[in-house]
Structure 1
Amino acid sequence: MAKVKIMETILRDAHQSQAATRMSIDEMLPICDKLDKVGYYALEAWGGATFDSCLRYLNEDPWERLRKLRKALPNSKLQMLLRGQNLLGYKHYADDVVDKFCELSVKNGIDIIRIFDALNDPRNMRQAIESTRKHGGTVEAAISYTTSEVHTVDYFVNLAVELEKMGAQIICIKDMANLLLPYTAYELVSRLKEKVTVPLHLHTHNTAGIGDMTNLKAIEAGCDIVDTALSPLGNGTSQPATESLVATLKGTQYDTGIDLTALNELTVYFKKVAERLSADGFLSSQVLKVDVNALIYQVPGGMLSNLISQLKQQGASDKLLSVLEEVPRVRADLGYPPLVTPSSQIVGTQAVLNVVTGERYKMVTKETKGMLTGEYGKLPIEPKPAVIKQIIGDAERITCRPADRIEPELDKLRGDIAEYAESEEDVLTYALFPQLAVPFFKRRKAAKHGVDETIYGKDSPVHPI
């Protein structure tokens, strides 16, 4: 058994999971030299919600963040998370936009792109897989792990085999809600090792308190790479702590080769960052607690906080337990989508509406209808005809790959943003988040010309941090 490789998530998922993605590039750069020398397999540094957060809250150009990290981490592989045909947004984009985004991600410094689809529909991953390989990136195709009557070990093994045939160079088990139990992980990894030839990478969290055990059993079954987060932003809704796993494996056949003393220097630094995030109200002790609701209701940590927020806004905080009980029912009605962006938001919001109105599907969101009509892709299992009839009536259902219905968009986008775009990267920023991009470009232009940026305050989405 070769040494286990570690991907460190402190620069992306750790602070996304625990602190609303509020770590700034200025807090990352001073420690990059030490991060670069530890001996990690890779650093997850971009993608996920970082693109949105840079524009919305931090007044940063996400592309410039990537370029700075690439320069500061010359010896490290940089990895990102990509939502397949959704890229880093919340809808499907045309194939030409997906292709250009993958091209520029690699060009600006990304080595490995982890590609997933919320419904595990390989059709929604195909273009990103092909484009990443075409432009010289490494494809890590992810299976979004969940549990249901259809999501068996056989289901995930067959999906992994299909993704390898599509061009995956690494297979990731993406356990976003910490639902993968240790002995199931052992079985799944063992079966995958028999059926696929590429390396296996496990991504889990510690929401339900089982992440460390899940990592260990997966490693014993032959998992090649695991995700961890340095302890100041590790555990809880984040990944299991890096230091704990490195210490556990030291001196064994799985020894990571990483020095605990070197990790401690990083820990000391990131403790100060975590203190700042906590002082500014972005890091709560709540995210560090073990939450068994994750196992009972399959609700990821981020989705749980969204549900609490929605109920609070409607003066219905006392209905949380009812909503948590409704979530699995809605999920079953919709064909058992895994609860990950954007399906987690869709299922959660519909569960809130069902409980608050006192009648199931009395009010139905357009996103819930879209999921049943096939706008997001093929559902894991066909919903019951009665549910389809109740929610969408006789509306036409999409059976093709949803992006096949989208005409090429790049040329139109270039024209729409010509006044402000200074690069192809700007065009893609506008494609993903038009309402955030325009105010950002205005502020950038004003700053370059020495104009008082506050003239753009009204349409600025940036909040003080």
Structure 2
Amino acid sequence: MAKKAVKITETVLRDGHQSLCATRMRLTDMDSQLEALDKVGYFALEAWGGATFDTCLRFLNEDPWERLKFLKSKLKTPISMLLRGQNILGYNHYADDVVEMFVKKMVEHGIGVIRVFDALNDVRNLEVAIKAGLEAGAHVQGVCVYTISPFHTKESYVKLAKELEAKGVHSICIKDMSGLLAPYVAYDLVKALKEAVKLPIELHTHYTSGFGSMTYLKAIEAGVDIVDCALSPFSLGTSQPCTETMIAALEGTEYDTGLDRAALKPIALHFAGVKKSLSEDFGLKTHFDVDTNVLDFQIPGGMLSNLRNQLKEQGMEDKYQDLLEEMPRVRKDLGYPPLVTPTSQIVGSMATFNVMLGERYKMVPREVKDLARGKYGRTPLPVADEVREKIIGTDEIIDYRPANDIEPQLDKLKADLAEKGYPNASIEDVLSYALFPEVALEFFKNNR
């Protein structure tokens, strides 16, 4: 093995299809390839979390817990997942008892690597999930959500990584969800993190801007330990750099992955067919060109199409450029939150209202008010005074961990389900109901 062998986390089973096929890959699309994927020698197979939980219940008529159990029955390679800290896999903060039970159950059913992030990089929102993951025996990976702003400097990420290390995480992930991390910036950032913490560093990016492979190579030269890649049919565009290409680029060097490209050919051939069938079955666009707009506006690729559709529905497509320019202004007003779930949706909805109504902050969604009140956590910089006064007036701004205000929820959720006709609901069903009540009830009606 090469002395600085780089490890790869394969994303074809989660972020690859989430990025290119609206998370529509079914268990039947992947089950025949699990044994072959297991033999490749990946650091981990990312196969759960993110939007998969919601999509399984809402669109695929699949129980995400049963999917996880099946994956675990076929895989010895650690199964990796993406967890939104106190948001779990939903869009709101949940009580500590729900977070603790969710983490306990997902590890019990097969999760080996928990990548846990908070949209604001507020470590207070990660504490319960990290502790629960450590107690359950998983590899817990603390995330530095990467973005660009006057606040987000190399020094700020070093400080964050040290805080995460102090919480006991096993590794650090730089999560570049918009593909903003430039190659030489990546080199400097990885160097700084390797000097500051004694933990392995993993890098996750998207190809949206076209930086992807260049960024990985410079990060590898700086000492990054693990990179996230997707098999060729589900790579590039708004997904990750290509697994086979990365293996080939490093072959014969001190960073050689030791993985066999030839073994991936039949697997890639299968997933090329899957991508075609997903496109046909769900009417999906699955090819995405490089979009350098992201370098100016920092809007994740998938979000651009959603914003365009919202304007189209209102007959205001001519306002698209105005909306692109309004997004960074709103983000600045709200203290430069990174644009990742759920803050990307919060900033996006506010920018859309501003453009459609022709007046800034005339109509303000509840989530925007809650962000300004501190109910999602601490924004990187304070919300601009004049904007705060306009949207929440003299309302109290909390400076403590938001979940401190949430009473335990599990017993109430069980009682709610019993009232709705499910007195013997499993704890997994209770957790599904906690995250997506209406969607879960519809699923239970058809499957329980």
Shift of 1:424: 0.9
Distance in 2, Cα, partners of 1:417 & 1:253: 56
Measure the CA separation in 1 of the matches of 2:329 and 2:391. 14
Q: What is the TM-score of this pair, normalised by structure 2?
A: 0.98
Q: How does 1:218-233 map to 2 (within 5 A)?
A: 218-233=219-234
Match 1:61 to one of 63, 66, 69: 63
Amino acid at match of 2:307: L
* Residues in 2 aligned to 1:326 and 1:314: alpha-carbon distance in whole angstroms: 17
Q: SS at the partner of 1:112? A: strand
**SS of the residue 1:111 aligns to:** strand
Task: Quote the residue 2:321 is aligned against.
Answer: 321
- The aligned residue for residue 111 of structure 1 is 112
Structure 1 CA distance for aligned equivalents of residues 153 and 365 of structure 2: 30
What pairs with 1:276-291 in structure 2 (closer than 5 Å)? 276-285=277-286, 287-291=287-291
**Per-residue deviation, 1:281:** 4.3
Whichever residue aligns with residue 172 of structure 2, its letter is I
Percent sequence identity over matched residues? 57
The counterpart of 1:52, out of the listed 47, 51, 54, is: 54
Q: Distance in 2 between matches of 1:234 and 1:356?
A: 35
The alignment's C-alpha RMSD in Å is 0.9
* Equivalent residue, structure 2, for 1:456: none
Separation in structure 1 between the aligned mates of residue 295 and residue 363 of structure 2, nearest angstrom: 28
1:201 corresponding residue in structure 2: 202
Secondary structure of residue in 1 paired with 2:81: strand
Match of 1:20 among 19, 22, 47: 22
The answer (yes or no) to whether the contact 1:54–1:62 under 8 Å persists in 2 is yes
**Deviation of 1:422 (Å):** 3.4
> What corresponds to 2:425 in structure 1?
422
**Alignment partner, residue 10 of structure 2:** 8
- SS for the counterpart of 2:111 is coil
What is the aligned partner in structure 1 of residue 434 from structure 2? 431
- Give the superposition deviation at 1:138: 1.1
SS of equivalent residue, structure 1 residue 280: helix
Residue in structure 2 matched with residue 301 of structure 1 by the alignment: 301
Between Structure 1 and Structure 2, how many residues are aligned? Answer: 443
In the alignment, which residue of structure 1 is the partner of 2:377?
Answer: 377
Pairing of 1:31-110 with structure 2 (within 5 A): 31-73=33-75, 75-110=76-111
Q: Specify the code of the residue in structure 2 equivalent to 1:3.
A: A
Partner of 1:176: 177
Residue number in structure 2 paired with 1:441: 444
CA distance in 1, matches of 2:275, 2:413: 39
- Please say if 1:335 is aligned against 2:345: no
8 Å contact from structure 2 (residues 414, 425) kept in 1: no
- Shift of residue 282, structure 1, vs aligned partner: 4.7
User: Would you say the 8 A contact 1:19–1:282 is kept in 2?
Assistant: no
The 2-side partners of 1:95 and 1:235 are apart by 37
Residue correspondence of structure 1 range 353-432 to structure 2 within 5 A: 353-418=353-418, 419-420=421-422, 421-432=424-435
Deviating beyond 6 angstroms after TM superposition, the runs of 4 or more aligned structure 1 residues are none
**Superposition deviation, residue 313 in structure 1:** 1.3
Query: 2:443 is aligned with what amino acid?
Result: F
Q: Quick one: distance in 1 between partners of 2:101 and 2:4?
A: 36
Contact 1:112/1:140 (<8 A) preserved: yes
**Displacement, 1:384?**
2.1
Matching residue's letter, 1:42: A
Question: How far, CA to CA, are the matches of 2:159 and 2:237 in structure 1?
Answer: 31
Q: What is the letter of the counterpart of residue 192 of structure 1?
A: L
Q: Report the 3-state secondary structure (helix = DSSP H, G, I; strand = E; otherwise coil) of the residue aligned with 1:417.
A: helix
Alpha carbons 2:417, 2:425 under 8 Å: kept: no
In 2: Cα distance, 1:119 partner to 1:293 partner: 23
Cα deviation, 1:205-240, whole Å, max 9, x if unaligned, reads: 100011000111111100000000011011010001
- Unaligned residue ranges in structure 1 (runs of 5+): 446-465
Do 1:274 and 1:283's aligned partners in 2 also have CA atoms closer than 8 Å?
A: no
Aligned AA (1:385): D
Aligned counterparts of 2:446 and 2:385: Cα–Cα separation in 1: 51
2:146 & 2:324 partners in 1: Cα distance?
19
> By how many angstroms is 1:390 displaced?
1.3
CA contact 1:176–1:300 (8 Å) conserved in 2:
yes
Give the distance between the partners of 1:434 and 1:390, measured in 2 at CA: 33
User: 2:257 aligned with 1:256, yes or no?
Assistant: yes
